[in-house]
Amino acid sequence: MSARQPRFNQHLLIDTTPLPDSIPKVQEVGSSSAPLLSASFFIGARCKAYNDDFMQCKTEANGKGEMDCLREGRKVTRCAGSVLDDINKSCLDEFRKHWECLDNNNQQLWQCRRWERPLNNCVFEKLNLEKKIPGVPENETPVHLRKRQIFAHSVITQ
């Protein structure tokens, strides 16, 4: 019999058995996609070590890392939750404006630089987290610091 690709569009199974008590419980991050995208670089700035550990664990496990990497995964979740908690406490208005703009613009960061600059300033002052894009060549300004965004729809919001 030739193998065919599975077609997973008919049935869903929701398994409500919780995890065993031997695994410590961690509160899942409750933000949806736009706030997470908006806070992603700050989560990266604070949680780089934990994220790198988790990614290394998953890469080395070669597909079997779902159970083995739970510990690193818990650290990642707790750290990301702490960053979101701090942003909610200190910079909520700028954060909300930024992710509402992202939600309206297909989650494209270059359309919403106008609201990203006050958010970056606020988070840098209050939480000391800076957004850095890794891999920028030395003699170029990073794309989020440029005055003109070449792909933005409107001049006002870029």
Q: Which is nearer to other proteins, 7 or 147 (CB)?
A: 7
Strand, helix or coil at 135?
Answer: coil
Q: Which amino acid is at 131?
A: K
Residue 157 binding other proteins, by CB under 8 A: no
**For residues 65-98, b (16+ Cβ closer than 10 Å) or e, as one string?**
beeebeebbbbbbebbbebbebbeeebeebbbbb
Residue 56 binding other proteins, by CB under 8 A: no
| Among residues 2, 6, 21, 148, the one that binds other proteins under rule CB under 8 A | 6
Residue 90 binding other proteins, by CB under 8 A: no
Residue 93 binding other proteins, by CB under 8 A: no
Stretch that binds other proteins, among 44-52, 65-73, 92-100, 133-141 (CB under 8 A): 92-100
Residue 76 binding other proteins, by CB under 8 A: no
For residue 115, which of 37, 11, 46 has the smallest C-alpha distance?
Answer: 37
N- to C-terminal Cα distance for the chain?
A: 55
Residue 8 binding other proteins, by CB under 8 A: yes
Q: With the C-alpha atoms ordered 90, 94, 100, 101, is the resulting torsion angle positive or negative?
A: negative
Site of interaction with other proteins (CB under 8 A) = 6-18, 27-35, 81, 84-85, 88, 95-96, 99-100, 103-107
